[in-house]
Amino acid sequence: MMVNIIWFLLLVLFNGILLKLFISRSRFLGLQDVPNQRSSHDYNVARGGGFVFAFNYLACSFINGSFLSGLNAGLCLLFIIGLWDDVRNVKPLIRLIVQFIAVFCLLYDTAFDLSEGIIWILILTILFSYLVNVFNFMDGINGMLGFYGFSLIIAVHFFINHTSFSFHDPYVWLIGSLIAFLFYNARTHAKVFSGDVGSLTLSFLLLPMVFTLDMSLKDNADNLNQLLFSISCVSIFLMDSFTTILHRLLRRENIFESHRFHLYQLITPRFVRNHMVTSLGYSIIQLFIIFCSYHVTTTICSRLVLFVILALFFFLLRLVLLRKETTLQGR
């Protein structure tokens, strides 16, 4: 165990040095985020530091001799399209096609029962593609993506799946890259952003971990119940995105246009100045939801009720914050 910890600390140090070099060369590489009207920052920041997520996972897979897999093929596709989008904007249709191909590679490679039929596969493909984009939408303030990903791996991979800590585990390498990334990102003035390459690849790596949970403790769990539990593990990001779309539709806005209407964007910095408070808050609430879904709401009906409560909470909180903001601006 001590040897694993020593190697892990060296891995974190290596990633820290790698990111430091990347930050210093970001301008030369054309990977700097220039603030605009939708930005939560007002200074140039290195963009694309999330490349370390895929790099670490792929490196560990290569060392373990498991590099040739559908998951890694899809990960490489998202790595390329994400990095390309960070350097030069990619057309949405091209991104969507690549994402669908990557998700298909993942489904083909993982332990999903493909004999369930084309409908089940189609549902998972659409859901996974949507969730990949949800993580991309939610990566808007310092620490949000890093804390959320870190908490999910700790809660699901180690505590729920009962995976032992081993340096040969690709998700341990992923944690090492997240810690190094958070060192430069989770601060008032971030040194680096994950970029599309980070949000796309991290979400892609988290999905098979979350959606292949061991449900053996619940003998009566069918595909729908397992799917609902898996969705609950990413429900905070999902509900923020879902209620944002719903609210914009009710306001008759074009949901495909850029905006700053996510709940975390309404909270920060209007009502909470420190980005880390909001980012940590999202992660802590998500951990609480996972605990409730795993130990309390164990039936299909109870999990559906949980989703309804979450949706109402996010929707009503958004209304309250918008009204409060309007009141403050009117003074």
E strand or H helix at 265: helix 263-267
Rg of the chain taking only CA atoms, in angstroms: 20
**Number of domains the chain contains:** 1
pLDDT for residue 217: 40
pLDDT along the chain (331 residues), means of 10: 85 96 89 65 81 96 89 95 90 91 84 59 84 89 94 93 89 96 92 94 93 51 77 93 88 76 84 87 95 88 93 90 67 47
CA-wise closest residue to 151 among 160, 142, 141, 140: 160
Give Cβ neighbours of residue 68 (< 8 Å, ≥ 6 apart).
none
Enumerate residues 6+ apart whose C-beta is below 8 A from 210: 152, 156, 230, 233, 234
The pLDDT value recorded for residue 216 is: 42
Q: Supply the pTM of this predicted model.
A: 0.89
Q: Which amino acid is at 156?
A: V
**DSSP letters for 279-330:** HHHHHHHHHHHHHHHHHT--SHHHHHHHHHHHHHHHHHHHHHHHHHHHHHHH
State how far the Cα of 184 lies from the Cα of 173, in Å rounded to an integer. 18
Neighbour count for residue 296 (Cβ, 10 Å): 10
User: What count of Cα atoms within 13 Å lies in the side-chain half-sphere of residue 238?
Assistant: 20
Domain span including residue 120: 2-330
